[in-house]
Amino acid sequence: MNRFVAFGLLSVTVILAIAACYSHSPTAGNVDIIVASKDFTEQDILGELLAQQIENKTGLKVDRKPRLGGSYVCHQAILAGKIDAYIEYTGTAATVSKLFENQKIPSDPKVLFQQLQQGYAKNFKLAVMPGLGFENTFAIVIRGDEAKRYNLQTLSQAAQYTPQWRAGFGYEFSERQDGLPGLAKTYNLTFAKPPQIMDLGLIYRALLQKQIDLTAGNSTDGQIARLGFVVLQDDKRYFPPYEAVPIVREETLKRYPTLAPAIAGLKNLITADEMRRLNYAVEGELRDVKEVVREFLQSRQAVTQGSEQLVPGSY
């Protein structure tokens, strides 16, 4: 696809997705807050987690906008005031916001978080809130038999074989600043033919069926280990940190004083292993997202209450 045509299609997608929110203003009807999520399973879960946490802790009425679109769509929607909050990843936030355009995104998670907080507040009137406790970085994935055959553990090692391999990636990874162009340059990656642009829901199936030999997934995908795939180590540390953080409109936080403490209650709530299990429960076991999130929150509440009983005076 021609790059300019692709960009035009992305722009149209962004406009249409944001326009779909226009009749659902947070102040319209009985809705207080609009929570959106991006277009993959983990985001379904995180959007529902944020929505249930707000409902449980504040009593506010939340309208959900699942699968609103990719990172650029959600960023533009919250800037336009058509959604109030969503969960983003720090490295992705740095990319879509263009706060670090023409400069390297900080590799220190704390430095990146602090600079995002300052930049989002100053430039967008958006609050970057404390992280959920896990990172979901890009995972460059190959089949386990290939990794074993060539004794591959790192991207540097794999680079000598990629000229004979076929690759497939999601559109966003193929185009974004922290995606394929920079990765290919860093590791001198070339492929047997131009990489296929694929729907994210198809990449692992294509890899399993040997239609492609390498792809970019997410490190918290529950399917990677279960399908016998191997994640190649980013030994040159190309990728920035990708800690999951809530992004919220400052105006909305001011309107509802109970909202900030409720969302802050998600701080360090989920480990990467727990996120993988939640992803697999929805994607592998085909369980209902709302039910999976409800059970998780209840289990975490039980653990917290148990800890408080064991530590008198912890308040």
Tokens of 31: 């809705």
172 lies in the same domain as 24: no
Instruction: Find the domain containing 79 and state its range.
Output: 9-135+241-299
Closest CA to 157 of 135, 142, 175: 142
Task: List the structure tokens of 172.
Answer: 């966003």
Of 211, 232, 253, the one marking the end of a domain is: 232
CATH number, position 26: 3.40.190.10
Same domain, 147 and 224: yes
Q: Which residues of the chain have pLDDT under 50?
A: 1-12, 15, 22-24, 27, 307-315
257-312 tens-digit pLDDT: 999 999 999 999 999 999 999 999 999 899 999 999 999 999 998 776 554 444 44
Do 65 and 190 sit in the same domain of this protein? no
Distance of CA 127 to the CA centre of its chain: 17
How many domains are there within the chain? 2
* 30 and 157 part of one domain: no
> Which residue has 């995908």 as its token pair?
221
77 and 35 fall within a common domain:
yes
Q: Are residues 142 and 130 part of one domain?
A: no
120 and 143 assigned to the same domain: no
- Whole-prediction pTM value? 0.85
59 and 131 fall within a common domain: yes
Give pLDDT, residue 115.
98
Q: Are residues 156 and 19 in the same domain?
A: no
60 and 177 assigned to the same domain = no
pLDDT at position 304 is 62
The residue out of 232, 266, 282 marking a domain boundary is 232
Q: Is 207 found in the same domain as 250?
A: no
Q: What rounded mean pLDDT belongs to the chain?
A: 90
Is 314 a member of any domain? no
Residue 50 Cα distances to 57, 154, 162, angstroms? 11, 35, 40
Distance, C-alpha 159 to centroid of its chain: 26
In a domain, 99, yes or no: yes
pLDDT at 302: 75
String of DSSP letters for the chain = --HHHHHHHHHHHHHHHHHTTTT--TTSTT--EEEEEESSHHHHHHHHHHHHHHHHHH---EEEEEEEESHHHHHHHHHTTS--EEEEEHHHHHHHHTTTTTSPPPSSHHHHHHHHHHHHHHHH-EEEPPP-S-B--EEEEEEHHHHHHHT--BHHHHTTTGGG--EEE-HHHHHSTTSHHHHHHHHT---SSPPEE--GGGHHHHHHTTS-SEEEEETT-THHHHTTEEEEB-TT--S---BEEEEEEHHHHHH-TTHHHHHHTTTT---HHHHHHHHHHHHTS---HHHHHHHHHHHHHHHHHHHHHHSTT--
Q: Are residues 226 and 90 in the same domain?
A: no
Give pLDDT, residue 8: 41
